[in-house]
Amino acid sequence: MNDTAARPLSILTEEESAFREAVAAFAEGEVRPRVAAMEAAAKLDPDLIPKYFEMGLMGIQVPEEFGGAGGSLMMTTIAVEEISKVDAAAAIMVDVQNTLVLYPMLRYANAAQKARFLPRLCTDTVGAYALSEAGSGSDAFGLATRAEKVEGGWSLTGRKLWITNGAEADLFVVFANADPSKGYKGITAFIVERSMPGFAVGKKEDKLGIRASSTCELILDGVCVPDENVLGSVGSGYKIAIETLNEGRIGIGAQMIGNAQGALTAAVGYVKERRQFGKALAEFQGIQFQMAQVATELEAARLMVYNATRLKDAGYDIAREGAMAKLYASQVCERVTSLAVELFGGAGYTKDYPVEKFYRDAKIGAIYEGTSNMQLHTIAKALLK
């Protein structure tokens, strides 16, 4: 086949290709018209969230018996990538719901918990994942939040920081240490609902990028959580958190390749139209070579994200591949979006064009769900094992 315009970005199944087209149409029709207003307000349009549920994007991998789409992680990756081409802030809600909330629920919730919580998460309830604290970022397991055993349940006390979806969520997967004497082996996961007494959402962060996505502090002041809301077994929180973050890093990789593609697409359109010295910028070899280089790197990043996704769907441990995909995708995203701003020239530095937002939204990829240095640590550890 010589017609490169007719080629897919990567080989997908017929079902996956149809899903990509549906999500792309959704992103263009429902997300793009809202981007500017959401960015200015630093808040997701509340009317957009029910549309996510209607599209089945908030329960992609959940079995149909619980109201989900019965899909795969590959479909989650595709959804996050496609929405990120338009707005990474809008995509991260879908990402967190599927990879950080539903994954541990599907993997570790008991039958009663699945019956109780999964239908809600698939139809109208936004979830969030609460691990980080002010004093435990990369050292996520130095957390200070405590779970004290009380009659019939647990009393949770502490503060969580940098919690994505914090403003919109009604259900939280919260990690607390039930036995500090055991170190990380005392960490336990709890299903906490916003309505529980003692629970409050605190400060919402004013961020550089992904501004429409809420990032909040959570305050737990003796929150009473019943025994039936312990996720997994007491003391298994470390394992749950690690496994969940491994899958979550694929979602961040998907966000980064989508964000980079959105910036590159905008730049390609601009250099074809913008004229200098009597011809379009796209006719200058120096411009062509720069764009060819980042396009190649972006395709490599996409294949790494897809490979990690396929491996995970096949049941493999993807700690190394997930770390590699997130690390490289975030690096490439910064390079692509930076070049896009430069190709737009002075116009690219203004909010009149989309590339400055793509550039700001890129930076978070090297930070959340494990900094780049932590990904390098994971990769090196696997390499030298």
Q: Are strands 127-130 and 187-193 parallel, antiparallel or unpaired?
A: unpaired
Q: What is the DSSP string of 127-149?
A: EEEE--BTTBSSSTTS---EEEE
Give the number of other Cβ atoms within 10 Å of residue 253's Cβ. Answer: 34
Q: How many whole angstroms separate alpha carbon 71 and alpha carbon 59? A: 9
81 is catalytic: no
Read off the DSSP letter of residue 235.
T
List C-alpha distances in Å: 163 to 5, 53, 140, 157, 174: 40, 21, 13, 16, 10
**Rg, C-alpha atoms of the chain:** 21
SS3 217: strand
Q: How many whole angstroms separate alpha carbon 20 and alpha carbon 18? A: 5
Q: Is 214 exposed, middle or buried (0-12, 13-18, 19+ CB in 10 A)?
A: buried
Catalytic residue among 133, 247, 321, 369: 369
| Torsion, Cα of 202, 206, 207, 211 (10° steps) | 90
Backbone dihedral region for residue 125 (phi beyond 0: left; psi -120 to 50: alpha; all else: beta): beta
* Residue 36, token pair as written in the block: 């500017």
Q: Which residues are catalytic?
A: 369
